[in-house]
Amino acid sequence: MPGAIYAEGLVKTFGDVRALDGVDLDVPEGTVLGLLGPNGAGKTTTVRVLTTLLRPDSGKAVVAGIDVLRHPDEVRRSIGLSGQFAAVDEYLTGRENLRMVGQLYQMKAKAAKVRAEELLERFNLGDAADRTAKTYSGGMRRRLDLAAALVVSPPVMFMDEPTTGLDPRNRLQLWGIIQELVAAGTTLLLTTQYLEEADHLAHDICVVDHGKVIARGTSDQLKARTGGERVEVVVHERDRITTAREVLAGFGKGETTVEKHTRKLTVPVSGGAKLLAEVIRELDGRGIEIDDIGLRRPTLDDVFISLTGHAAERRAEERAEAAAGPEVKGRKAARKEAAK
C-alpha cells in the first residue's frame, strides 16, 4: 500500500530546465521524510506539485490517499503547508492571520478564534499577537507561518526549508515543535539544506540533485554506504609522528594520512570502539603521548559530498536571495488558491 505521500515519475520542466526529472517518493504514514538537496535541486518544485500548487508535466502523486491531479481541492483540505510560500499576510496581525486561515478552511468563527489563541500561546506569539506580521522578526514569522499551517491539524504536512535563516535557538525550538507533531501522528515531508536537520528529524532521507533522487535511506544507511570509519590521532610530539604512523599502519585498512603542522594522523579502519582501545594500548606501549584520539564516523556532509561532488549548505547571501525571489509570487498564488 502506498504511504501517506506517494509520487511516481514526477517530471516538471520550465523552458530548458528539467526541475523534476522523474521523482519517486513513498512516505509511510506517521513518518518524516527529509528531502535534502542543494539550491536548485528541485525541492520546492516537488513540494509545490504535491501540494497542488503546480501541475507536473507527467507522473502521478497521491497524498493522504487522494489523487493530487484529479482531486486537488480534496488534497488541499487534508494537508498543511509551511515554508517559503505559505500564507502569512504581512498586513494582518498574528491573531488575524490565524483566524483568517481558520475561516479559509471553513471553521466556525468561534472555533477559529479558540484555535488561534491556542496556537499563539504554543508558539510564544501571545505578546505579539496584535502586531502586524510585517513587524515580526524572522524567527517570529517562521513560527507564525508554522502555526498557520497547523490551524486545522492536518494529517499530512509539508514544510519547505522551515528553519532556513533561523538562529540556533529558534531552530531548536522549531525542531521540538516538529517532533511533537510527528509524535502525534502527522506524516511530514520536510525539505532542508541542513544535513544536521535531516539527521535529527527525518526517518528517511532522499537526497535530490538536478531533479532526481540520487540516494535514499536512513541517515545511518547513507553513512554506511559512503563507508569509512577512521581513527584520528593527534600526537603530542612532532618527532613521534613516524612511529605513530607505523602503529596505525598495523591497524589500518588503507593509507594513513599525516598532517604535520597539526600532528594529526588519520587512518581508515573497521572494528569500531574495540579497535580504538587496541590502538590506544599500542600507542601507549610505544611511549607515544597523545593529545587527542577518536573514532570518526562519516557525517551526512561526507555522504552528500561523495554523492554530489559538492557541499550542501549554501552561503548565507545566496539563501537570502532565494528567500526574497520568486517566493513572494508563490505566496500570493497560494493565498489565492486557498481562497478558492
Ligand X SMILES: Nc1ncnc2c1ncn2[C@@H]1O[C@H](COP(=O)(O)OP(=O)(O)O)[C@@H](O)[C@H]1O
Q: Which residues make up the interface to ligand X (CB under 6 A)?
A: 14, 17, 19, 37, 39-45, 326
What SS3 class is residue 186?
coil
Going by the DSSP 8-state scheme, the letter that residue 123 receives in this structure is T
Q: Shortest approach of ligand X to residue 315 CB, angstroms? A: 14
Q: Shortest approach of ligand X to residue 174 CB, angstroms? A: 19
From the list ligand X, Mg ion, none, pick the one residue 195 interacts with, judged by a Cβ distance below 5 to 8 Å according to partner type: none
Nearer to ligand X, 42 or 162 (CB): 42
Work out whether 82 is an interface residue with Mg ion (CB under 5 A): no
Amino acid at 18: R
d(CA 149, CA 230): 43
Q: Shortest approach of ligand X to residue 181 CB, angstroms? A: 22
The region of 6-14, 37-45, 65-73, 332-340 touching Mg ion under the rule CB under 5 A is 37-45
From the list Mg ion, ligand X, none, pick the one residue 56 interacts with, judged by a Cβ distance below 5 to 8 Å according to partner type: none
Work out whether 170 is an interface residue with Mg ion (CB under 5 A): no
d(CA 290, CA 91): 61
Distances (CA, A) of 267 to 196, 228, 229, 285, 333: 25, 9, 9, 19, 54
Q: Are 190 and 159 in contact (CB under 8 A)?
A: yes
Question: What contacts 181, CB < 8 A, 6 or more positions away?
Answer: 150, 157, 188
From the list Mg ion, ligand X, none, pick the one residue 45 interacts with, judged by a Cβ distance below 5 to 8 Å according to partner type: ligand X
From the list Mg ion, ligand X, none, pick the one residue 41 interacts with, judged by a Cβ distance below 5 to 8 Å according to partner type: ligand X
Question: What torsion, rounded to 10 degrees, do the Cα atoms 136, 178, 322, 207 define?
Answer: 170
Considering only 44, 163, 170, 193, the residue that binds Mg ion (CB under 5 A) is 44
Which residues would be at the binding site for Mg ion (CB under 5 A)? 43-44
